[in-house]
Chains A and B, each alone.
Chain A
Amino acid sequence: MKKTVIIIVNVVIMVAIMSFVVLYSGSESRDSYQRQIEHFEDSTVTMEQVTENYLESEQRICDIWARYINNKTMTMEEAADYIRASHVLENTSAHLISPDTLTGLSTRPKQGTDDDYAVSYKKIDLLEDTSWIDRIGESINITRAYTNPMNGEQSLAFCNTVELYNPESQKSETAVLMRVIPISMLEQKWVFPQTELVNAELAVIDADGDYILKGDSFKNSSLFEFYKSYNATDPKSSTELFNKITSSTGSVPMINSHKQECILAFTPVSASVGWTMLGLMPAKDLDVDTENWLLFGVVSAGLLILFLFDLLCILYFNKRLQIAAREAESANKAKTDFLSTMSHDIRTPMNAIIGLTTIAEKNLGDVESTGESLRKISLASNHLLTLINDILDISKVESGKLKLSPLTFSIVETVENLVTVSQPMIKEKNIEFSFHTNQMEKEYLYTDQLRLNQIYINILSNAIKYTEPGGRVSVDLHQDKSDKPGYVRLTYVVADTGIGMSPEFMETMYQPFSRQIDSRVNSIQGTGLGLAITKQMVDLLGGTIECQSERGKGTTFTIVLDIQEADRQREDMQLESVDVLIVDDDEIMLQTTVDILESLGASAEQAPSGLEALGMIEHRHLSGKDYDAIIIDWKMPEIDGLETIRRIRSEIDETIPILLISAYDWSDIEDKAKAAGANAFVSKPLFRSTLYDKINDLIGVESKSIEPEDDYSDLQGLHILVAEDNDINWEIISAILSMYGITTDRAENGRICVDMMRTAAEGSYELIFMDVQMPEMNGLDATREIRGLEDPWASSIPIIAMTADAFSENVMECLDAGMNGHIAKPVDIKIVIKEIRRIKDGGGQL
């Protein structure tokens, strides 16, 4: 499904949800609004009852007065006196008005006078028609609000008709009795009791719509005028509306004088025919939809955030997927390329092995030719093994199962090995090679030597591999103090003048299967795994690797590692008082060697060339102070080391000890050096311990060495059970072990192995080398069965896997099955011996 469709579907769903929320919210709001209106209507009805009760109570007072007056024959004055006497409220009064003259008496004097009780309603349109005044007790007879002519206060009056005796006419005449109450007094009481209706106001209208009582919101003198003033209507509609208002209970919307939408609630006043109680309230006070909008807002915002979040996630994951797809594609291609390369790289040494084997078979009689073929077969085999080991390493790295196996080792030995390993390639490519060490004070270090070697060899072999013949490769290794106590900082710098790397390739060079696309590179053997493995190893050892490179100019790798010092170091390496001359055209080498010799207690002099050295040696010889030893570099300008030695021997002294040094392969010049008169040879770089040992050898002093001897006597007589179904493999391991005095029994498969162990006497075997993939019963099942044997010796016998299943998960499977170790085929006899010793020393006990 296209992203656009997904987005549109999302938007449609969101719009649908929001529409639902709006509609639902609107519906709820309308329902709520309707309920509020109904509540307002109910409140108006309640207020009608409250009002009615109040009006009735006020009317009853007027009724009592009227009945009393009617029961007596009273003049207007007497009636006024009676009411005056019965009055209790100061702010109310009573008026007795003759309907004929619209004049009469008030119970209270006119404002500003003390004795003027005359009152006139002539100018007040109130009593011209008194037909609305019912008989006493039958209803509430109340006037509209009007201005009290006695004090100017807005008032209303409860009325009754009374019969008063007129002394002048000597007749009884009807008069209107008015109990006059100020509006202000009523306003204090006449409000909705509920706080939520605080803005609601009340009014009472008569059948014509004229107000009898009204709150301030009710404008005009008539409700109907008020309605028509602010609401568009036509005569017919307004008539219908007014009929509805004056004849039923309910509510209608209307606009008030503030142009606000209001609800007008109405209900008939039951106590007085034609009257209607009104309630008026702004609609917004009833419309409580704020929360719904809040809900809508929250839902909308939430959906929008969700939408944007999803959108960003989709875009992000799409991008990630695209990257992953590209990477997968790239990795796939890389693996295809790798397999292609591997095929080539495997076939090449295999071709050599097969071809040379054929040649050797044909020339069995020619020992020299056969030996040469076997040497080359060995080289090709080693290359093949390296290739396979690389694959194993990268497998371990990728699965995160690469573990360190730290041990004490000599950095000197490591460097020597490094030089040795690289010599053939240097020689083959005729590369100018130099190796400088400096301040290598701590010879014995504690780390995974194998991985350190791997790092150093990978970098150096790459430098050599990618440097054209005639180019230069230099190595600088020095020790510094580390920030971590008990550690030294080893800085390993390999610089070459090779083909260099492009910036683009440098960004991905540490990724597996990465090889620079370059016609020059394609011709060079490689798996594209070296740098990836190196980087992982460096990371594992907690170091850093940096690279500076320029295409066509060369590359410099710098590796910095903090490595723990070994507990033991060679101590007291002090030469007896010896006088040494060092001859080399390399000034750095000269100075470094002088420093080392002086630190060993020797007296050292230096000569930058053979000729100068000859002069110095002759001068000493003539003065009877021959040097105790002379160290001469092989490759020097003018006359090289061999020529110099030759001249020393022939022209000066035949006995003086001479040590030839070189960064190149000793084997090439060994014969010539011996012929020239060199006493010993040592490879560059020169280490403190190497010099100490060699000089002592030269001057005939036994050096203090902590190096273990290559003594395999401890292995003599060991008896090992080998479970191996393959005859050739059995033959190889059996033959190799026998060279160390180890005897073996064979079990052709796992079943036989288990049976043999079941019947073997205690101590028959030191350990078992167990192949994994075997017929009938594989090595894993066999191990499990052996571990389950009743005989404690048999069930606890050390079992070492010896298998071509060399991946990390295979190792784990073996260990999980109960094995004590793992040796990958093709077997390295050194590793085998090491494992045997480990087991023998108790490292493999269960």
Chain B
Amino acid sequence: MKKIVYMLLAVVMILGLSACGSEQQEAAPEEGFSPSLDTSTECQITVAGGYDNFEALEAEFDSFNEYYPNVELMFTKVDDYNNMIGMVLDGNDAPDIYVNYSWMYGREQYQSSIDHAENLADPALGLDLDCIRSNIMLNTSDDTLPMVPVFANTYGMLVNSSLFEKEGLSIPTTYEELVEVCKVFREKGYENPMMGYSKEETTSLFTLSAYPFFCETMADDAEAVNKFNALDSSAGEYMRPTLEKEMQFLSDGCVNLDACAEIEDNYEAVILRFFEGDVPMMFCSGDTVSGTKKRESQSEAFIANPFEYAFVPVPMSDEGTTFLDMPNLQFSVNKDSANLDMANEFMRFLITPQELNEMAQNKGLMSPTKDLSFNSVYAAFGDVPESRVLSPEVIGLTDDAVIQLRQAVYAVGTGEMTIDEAIDSFGTFTE
């Protein structure tokens, strides 16, 4: 018995010592990605974009460094990005990877951004492009792929799920249900069942509610799309159903424009107003949703009374909700990069469902991959039937034409124009 006690004491001491001396195991690199270059390679990779900060991408840098510890990856903000990226690409500070946008394609002033881009469709690069939803991929005339989406965007509304649950209501999936829910909320004392930014056209509640509806009306009419893109004056009529729907929506009493006018900007102010907790539904884009997580800790109201929320499509049609699937940020590789192989290696690492979903989750944006279920905030969009998933890329609407719609909708929504005046002004709106 004594010997057992001594042995136990000795074992306890040995274990104690070994515990003191043990070091934390380093995290093993993730499975799935296999480095194709010398992992001891030393180089610097710069990614340029317009964001002030890009923490989600920096997290990917860290993951990549587990394979290539000597590669220094850095994100650089470029001022006036859209206008400057061409010059940056031509200058001494040219990045290895840079942010690109679909709408730059085909526009002469942004041609440099396209010209510097490597063709990412090249099978030799080994990018897993199949993991990305095809309807947000850029269609080019020569079937090259100068950019690949790393985030997606859509329009919709933030819903206070806790409030719906509290009031025993379901999140609406048709326009009729939307109006009814708004009516019930009003009756229950909620002054603003729906709110949104209205001070400027950009991602105003008018655009966010009308644009998906408009896409739905144009989706199957190629001729109409062509005429609309051509800014044919007669094509303004294609906007009429949308504008009428807009007016109906406003008259159905879902929103109080005066209250909405108090929201100062389309990002932080929208979020903080939603976090006040008394707004069941808040129009916003996916970009705005990305800022919600960080601002939970900045809202004293939300800290005091936290609630569950989600981002869902706005049911502007009686047929149901529409998922307007749009690319957001896209990455291009500078084909003149001094470290082109490593830049491509990073893209091969990044363009996978796991990394894209991870980055989208961290950024709070919608993932470009085919699986949206991993993020509860965006999960509702994954439930939209494929037939009601619309993409301006697929429909073929050009940005210049869409600007006409957005301005018309804003003008009608704010009461600056009547529907007829807006239709007559088609082609004359400027951004």
Contact = CB atoms under 8 A, between A and B. Distances in A.
- Are A and B subunits of one complex? yes
Interface in A223-247: 225-226, 228-230, 232-235
Nearest to A151: B91
Contact of B13 (A14, A110, A147, A220): A14
A307 interface: yes
B124 interface: no
B79 A123 contact: yes
B79 A293 contact: no
Interface in A633-680: none
A226 B79 contact: no
B14 A293 contact: no
A182 B91 CA distance: 12
A258 B62 contact: yes
Given A149-B84, A152-B90, A235-B300, A220 B62 contact: no
Interface stretch (B51-59, B197-205, B312-320): B51-59
B5 A4 contact: yes
B2 interface: yes
Interface string A103-146: 00000001110000000000111100000000000000000001
Interface stretch (A295-303, A448-456, A508-516, A521-529): A295-303
Contacts of B298: 228, 235
Given A147-B80, A257-B58, A300 B17 contact: yes
B414 interface: no
A9 to B, nearest CB: 12
A491 to B, nearest CB: 50
Interface in A1-16: 3-4, 7, 11, 14
A257 B54 CA distance: 10
Given A147-B80, A304-B13, A111 B90 contact: yes
A219 B78 CA distance: 14
Contacts of A228: 294, 297-298
B261 interface: no
B182 to A, nearest CB: 32
B88 A147 contact: yes
A7 B9 contact: yes
B10 interface: yes
A235 to B, nearest CB: 6
Interface string B1-23: 01001100110011001001100
Contacts of A230: 55
A7 B6 CA distance: 7
Contacts of A293: 20-21
B13 A216 contact: no
Contacts of B93: 152-154, 182, 184
A221 B17 contact: no
Interface residues of A, number: 46
Contacts of B53: 219-221, 225-226, 229
Nearest to A15: B13
Contacts of B89: 152
Contact of B21 (A111, A126, A297): A297
A233 B79 contact: no
B303 A234 contact: yes
B87 interface: yes
Contact of B10 (A4, A149, A222, A308): A308
Contact of B91 (A111, A300, A301): A111
B77 interface: yes
B87 A232 contact: no
Interface in B12-37: 13-14, 17, 20-21
A153 B76 CA distance: 11
A392 interface: no
Given A123-B79, A216-B74, A219-B55, A112 B90 contact: yes
B237 to A, nearest CB: 36
B58 A221 contact: no
A118 to B, nearest CB: 14
A14 B74 CA distance: 51
Given A14-B13, A258-B62, A234 B79 contact: no
A138 B294 CA distance: 40
A110 B88 CA distance: 12
A718 interface: no
Chain B residues touching A, range: 35 or more
Contacts of A152: 78, 84-85, 87-91, 93-94
A756 interface: no
Nearest to B86: A152
Contacts of A182: 92-93
Given A152-B90, A300-B17, A311 B6 contact: yes
B193 to A, nearest CB: 29
B77 A221 contact: yes
B61 to A, nearest CB: 9
Interface string B78-112: 11100111011111111000000000000000000
Contact of B92 (A147, A151, A229): A151
Chain B CB within 10 Å — which of A123, A232, A296 has the most?
A123
A232 to B, nearest CB: 7
Contacts of B17: 297, 300-301, 304
A149 B78 contact: no
B300 A219 contact: no
Contact of A307 (B13, B58, B91): B13
B297 A233 contact: yes
B361 to A, nearest CB: 15
A146 B91 contact: no
Nearest to A220: B53
A125 B88 CA distance: 18
A300 B298 CA distance: 49
Contact of B297 (A14, A126, A222, A232): A232
Interface string B232-273: 000000000000000000000000000000000000000000
Given A7-B9, A11-B13, A219-B53, A297 B83 contact: no
Contacts of B84: 123, 147, 149, 152
A777 B80 CA distance: 128
A314 to B, nearest CB: 10
Contacts of A112: 87, 90
A125 B79 contact: yes
A3 B21 CA distance: 30
Nearest to A146: B79
A4 B6 CA distance: 8
Contacts of A297: 17, 20-21
Interface in A195-221: 216, 219-221
A810 B208 CA distance: 124
Contact of A124 (B6, B59, B79, B300): B79
Given A152-B84, A228-B298, A304-B13, A147 B303 contact: no
Chain A CB within 10 Å — which of B59, B74, B76, B87 has the most?
B87
A232 B52 CA distance: 21
B231 to A, nearest CB: 26
A146 B84 CA distance: 11
Given A221-B53, A229-B53, A235-B298, A3 B83 contact: no
A219 B91 contact: no
A400 B278 CA distance: 108
Contacts of A226: 53
B304 to A, nearest CB: 11
Contacts of B300: 235
5 contacts: A126-B79, A149-B84, A225-B52, A230-B55, A297-B17
Interface of B: 2, 5-6, 9-10, 13-14, 17, 20-21, 52-53, 55, 58-59, 62, 74, 76-80, 83-85, 87-94, 294, 297-298, 300, 303
Given A7-B5, A226-B53, 6 more contacts: A4-B2, A7-B9, A222-B52, A232-B297, A257-B55, A307-B10
Interface of A: 3-4, 7, 11, 14, 110-112, 123-126, 146-147, 149, 151-154, 182, 184, 216, 219-222, 225-226, 228-230, 232-235, 257-258, 293, 296-297, 300-301, 304, 307-308, 311
Task: For the complex of A and B, list the 3 residue pairs with the smallest distance between their C-beta atoms, beginning with the closest.
Answer: A152-B88, A123-B80, A221-B52
